Amino acid sequence: MALERPVQRLMDLYGEMVRIGPPTVRYRHADGLEQPIMGLRVLCPPTSFERIREDLRQRLAAITDAEVNRRFGIVRASAPLAVLLGYPDRFAEMSGGKGRLVMWLSHYEQLDDPPPAGIAA
């Protein structure tokens, strides 16, 4: 999300000279392989709340807080970055473009299974 504007600016300035690949997850080598865990907070219309919460559950997000009232819904959660790639577009679709999503790097966590083939480590 944070790179959309800078990437567009680079593309505007340099055109086809800039090559930017799809987003990848960078794993960290410590005592073993560690994956980045993102914190996230969503603010959405109440009509989108259940759909968004269920989507996060399906992505194996750990939901720490969720509430909805007549005006808005809020979900706070954490999830591996690997399952959140592409999530901003999905969130915008689910919220009808009326939600707000904030994501940040929370911490790294031990990865029990190796990442799928083709994922940067």
CB 102, CB 74: distance < 8 Å? no
For 7, list phi and psi in degrees, rounded to 5.
Answer: -65, -45
Going along the chain from its start, the domains and CATH numbers come out as 32-110 (3.30.70.240)
Which has the closest alpha carbon to 115: 24, 46, 3? 24
- How many Cα neighbours within 13 Å face the side chain of 24? 12
Q: b vs e for 84-121, b when ≥16 Cβ sit within 10 Å of the residue's Cβ?
A: beebeeebeebbeeebebebeeeeeeebeeebeeeeee
Q: Name the pTM for this structure.
A: 0.76
The pLDDT profile of the chain, 121 residues, written as one tens digit per residue, is 556 777 788 889 888 888 877 777 888 887 888 999 999 999 999 999 999 999 999 999 999 999 999 999 999 999 999 999 889 989 999 999 999 999 999 999 998 776 655 555 4
